[in-house]
Chain A
Amino acid sequence: MSWFRKPSSAPLWREEFSVFTADERYVNRRQFTKFLTLTSFGMLVGNLWILGRSLLRRAPSYPRLTVAATGELAVGGVKTFTYPTAQDPCILVRTAGDTCVAYSQKCTHLSCAVYYEKAQNRLECPCHQGFFSIADGSVLQGPPQRALPRVVLERQGEQWVAVRMEGETT
């Protein structure tokens, strides 16, 4: 540390723990500023981490999963399943006629489970009143910043099959 300091006659401890309150004002401010700079560095590390993750990602491969039969749900009916892994809860909603949509059930705010509110025809998160559109999962209201990741469904005969996720970074 010696090359940091200007040479002086008093040892470092005597200057840092000075008996004069006038000196203490400087020491306290300098130390707080150092703490703020460390915080700034921590956030830089966070941004670099994101950068690293975004550069190193490989395209993920998704399994195919049969979710439900076409006649299984009434209009407005709901079924929950897990896709692509058992740790990813998803929600399937039969919207109108013969169409089904499915989304990840983890709210993009703080991962509470969203549910389908039939009266309002939207996905709602009970924790902080975040509402998502049933059409594309975009945010209608509330603290969530990102749309709900969508499960892309394919109709295979009389089955609804989940083929991949869209709109998320794993």
Chain B
Amino acid sequence: MTPNPPQNRGLTAIDGAMALIVILLIVQIWLLSATLESYLAGHREAAVPGAIISAILFAACLALYRFVRRIDSDVRRG
């Protein structure tokens, strides 16, 4: 009933990547709300660093997604 060890490892790696993405997403949500609040209050200087950090977080999410795709491709078609 347990999957083959290589398949199991692949699943564990993907689970880890997903958990990491969720954490990054939580940070990104907070960043968006904080940037928005500060912009609406008239402090426009927060917009630039907010956008840069959001882009960095998105790039990290994208890299993790590509990692997941690579694992999936390797395990199922490797």
Interface residues of chain A, those whose CB is within 8 Å of chain B, are: 5-6, 8, 15, 22-23, 25-27, 29-30, 32-34, 36-37, 39-41, 43-44, 46-48, 50-51, 53-55, 57, 108, 145-147, 167-169
Min CB distance A163 to B, Å, is 17
**Total A-B pairs in contact (CB under 8 Å)?**
120
| Chain A residues within 8 Å of B10, by CB | 26
B39's contact among A39, A43, A50, by CB below 8 Å, is which?
A: A50
Whether B31 and A37, one on each chain, are in contact in the complex, defined by CB atoms closer than 8 angstroms, is no
The CA-CA distance from A57 to B39 in the complex, in Å, is 12
Residues of B within 8 A of A (CB): 3, 7, 10-11, 14-15, 17-18, 21-22, 24-25, 28-29, 31-32, 35-37, 39-42, 44, 47-48, 50-51, 54-55, 57-58, 61-62, 64-65, 68-69, 72-73, 75-77
Alpha-carbon distance between A167 and B42 when the two chains are bound, in angstroms: 6
B57 — which chain A residues lie within 8 A by C-beta?
40, 44
Choice from A23, A32, A37, A50 contacting B36 with Cβ under 8 Å: A50
| Interface class of chain A by DSSP | helix
Known: A36-B21, A40-B61. A26 touches B3 (CB 8 A): no
The listed residue (B21, B28, B47, B76) touching A33 by CB distance below 8 A is: B21
B56 to chain A, nearest CB (A): 10
